[in-house]
Chain A
Amino acid sequence: MNNTPRVLNRILIGILGIKLLAIGVLLMLLASVPAVGVWWHEWAGGVLKYWLDLFERTQFPRHQGSWLWFAICGGLVLVLALMVAWVAQQGKGRTSLIAAEEDPGGVPGNVGISGGVAEQALRAALADRPDLAGVTVAAYEIRGEPALKIRVEPRQGVAPHALAAEVSALVEALDAVIGKRTPVLIHIGSGTRSRFGRAERVR
């Protein structure tokens, strides 16, 4: 439900996977097939020679050493920065407001309703139910629109459709209170508390 860049994840993981796979297979072939060793020696030797020539041609004008080393450093720093940026993209998209609109009345200004309102209301409504082990409510921003995710952890054996209908009725009541229909996702899941807690006996 968050804004994790899924396509980007798949592409980058795929590229890394193919590269590692190729390197691994090459190493295994080098270890087992002598002919591959001969080919590798020729091919990689050519590549190394090309690079050594490149280093020779990129010497500093006055003192010794190639500036290509600094260029490689810069490239590596760029890759590192991109990787950090990629990690920072994971699980993004939480927001604090579930509704923010301009007030059409005479007083200028905006009205914002925090996601905490929905969270407190739903938690209070579901608090003393013995068939639930936990409730969490979070607001996310989906394509600029706020949406609510309600995660309910029932105890073992609770019928999920009945629970979903009850939570859904609460959401409809919440709609009436807030005055706006936000998209809502109800996730009925199991966690450690529902897994190892006592089972629902009568319901």
Chain B
Amino acid sequence: MSQDTRDATVGSGPNDAGAVTESGMPGSGAAGMARILKRETHSSRAVVSVMAAALVIVVCGYALLETAVRAFGQPPWLIDPQTAAERAVALPAGIPPLLLGVSGAVVAMAGLFFFLNAVLPGRRARHLLADRRAGVVVDDEVIAAALARRARLAANVTQGQVMVIVSRNRVEVNVRPTSGVPLRPDAVLEAVRRELQDMGPSPTPEVRIHVATSGVVGA
């Protein structure tokens, strides 16, 4: 209980601060900041890189083992490199075609995964906010939660009846009204739009609202 009243007293602050934010310049102007923001909104592919390196290390490590064993004239562990090469040359023979095709498909899928990771832009689900001092990056999830709260207050429904999906260029607000209580979609849309305008994320998404045809009973 004490927490709630505490929050209420702090509540008047953020609105003023929000107004200040709007008048601020986007980013802090420096070229270094632009680079930081670009890097923050795009994936670094560090995880995929570690996976790729691990794959290469495992394959090369095994090849090293067999090659070293062969170089010192010892019996091979699993297969001699020369025998392996000869088997690879004779390939359609010596293995069931189904197994060969399936393993080929698996290898191709792994290759496609790595290739697409390298080629696609790798944008993260984040938006930038304007601020006069610092660069601000916000996860889309946080924006969605804030908009959902605003929509819930405007529609006068409970938390479970509003779902907001934020993507790069679109905000989708899904509302399930309470049965028997009329809901004005325009008012909800207006409230969400105003909140988004105050927030000023870039790129600015477009707001859509869907009101479910069936209501929730007893909410």
Contact = CB atoms under 8 A, between A and B. Distances in A.
B200 interface: yes
B192 to A, nearest CB: 12
Interface in A35-87: 37, 40-41, 44-45, 48, 51-52, 64-65, 69-70, 72-73, 76-77, 79-80, 83-84, 86-87
Interface in B30-75: 30, 32-33, 35-37, 39-40, 42, 44-46, 48-50, 52-57, 60-61, 63-64, 67-68, 70-71, 73
A90 B46 contact: yes
A11 B145 contact: no
A185 interface: yes
Residue among B45, B85, B92, B119 with the most chain A CB within 10 A? B92
A185 B108 CA distance: 40
A203 B10 contact: yes
Contact of A169 (B17, B88, B105, B199): B17
A113 to B, nearest CB: 18
B42 to A, nearest CB: 8
B219 interface: no
A180 to B, nearest CB: 13
B32 A166 contact: no
A107 interface: no
Q: What's the interface size class on A, roughly?
A: 35 or more
A32 interface: yes
A190 B142 contact: yes
B46 to A, nearest CB: 4
Nearest to B195: A159
A160 B49 contact: no
Classify the secondary structure of B's interface with A.
helix
A34 B92 contact: yes
A80 B64 contact: yes
Nearest to A6: B44
B101 A157 contact: no
A165 B14 contact: yes
Nearest to B62: A76
29 contacts: A4-B46, A6-B39, A9-B45, A9-B48, A9-B118, A14-B119, A17-B112, A18-B111, A20-B111, A21-B111, A22-B111, A24-B106, A28-B108, A31-B104, A37-B92, A41-B92, A76-B60, A143-B32, A156-B145, A157-B145, A158-B142, A160-B142, A162-B17, A168-B131, A184-B134, A188-B142, A190-B141, A200-B7, A202-B8
Interface of A: 1-2, 4, 6, 9-14, 16-32, 34, 37, 40-41, 44-45, 48, 51-52, 64-65, 69-70, 72-73, 76-77, 79-80, 83-84, 86-87, 90-91, 130-131, 142-143, 145, 147, 150, 154, 156-169, 171-172, 175, 183-190, 194-195, 199-203
